[in-house]
A = this chain, B = another copy of it.
């Protein structure tokens, strides 16, 4: 692994465990085994490092979301697959999940996030848009619908990662069904 990747990986581990606030550059240095100067050779500053990491993870998630989607599938079928894709990405990458959630709520760089999201989530946005137009989804503001669904996935994923509930096929199906019921026209 290149030094640059070592730094990014270590930062992910630390921020997901300790949070933004408690992840000092000093800690990254110690854990990654890289010299302080090396960090600043690859990244302008701490913020740039975090931003880079965020951006890469967002892209990864964006790709994960649409994996195995077949245009022939029915709308509802796609919904279930997308939901599972996001969910799987979250529980298979709990550190990335923590990081993305943490950063999403963090009060800085909000504007840029929006712009990036827009591009990585374009297919998802198109999908929801078509659902509204086809009269399958409730005619609520597009991004509200999307945020509701993302929120639902995160709620389940968080509880499983935190071991507050146990994962089971039936629970997953029910959770998706619940989410579907909240966005579809009944």
Instruction: Decide yes or no whether A9 CB sits under 8 A from chain B.
Output: no
B152 touches A148 (CB 8 A): yes
| Stretch of A73-81, A84-92, A137-145 contacting B (4+ beta carbons < 8 Å) | A137-145
Copies of this chain present in the complex amount to 4
A179 touches B178 (CB 8 A): no
| Stretch of A56-64, A102-110, A121-129 contacting B (4+ beta carbons < 8 Å) | A102-110
Instruction: Decide yes or no whether A19 CB sits under 8 A from chain B.
Output: yes
A147 touches B155 (CB 8 A): yes
A178 touches B140 (CB 8 A): yes
Interface on chain A toward B: helix, strand, loop, or mixed SS? helix
A186 touches B181 (CB 8 A): yes
Chain B's nearest CB lies how many Å from the CB of A126? 19
Bound state CA distance, A101 and B20, in angstroms?
Answer: 15
In the complex, the chain B residue whose C-beta lies closest to that of A18 is B107
- Chain A residues with CB under 8 Å of chain B are 17-22, 101-102, 105-108, 138, 140-141, 143-144, 147-148, 151-152, 154-156, 158-159, 164-165, 171, 174-175, 178-179, 181-183, 186
**Other CB < 8 Å A-B pairs besides A21-B106, A178-B183, 20 of them?**
A20-B21, A22-B107, A140-B171, A140-B174, A140-B178, A141-B165, A143-B164, A143-B165, A144-B155, A144-B156, A144-B175, A147-B159, A148-B178, A151-B152, A151-B155, A152-B182, A178-B182, A181-B181, A181-B182, A186-B186
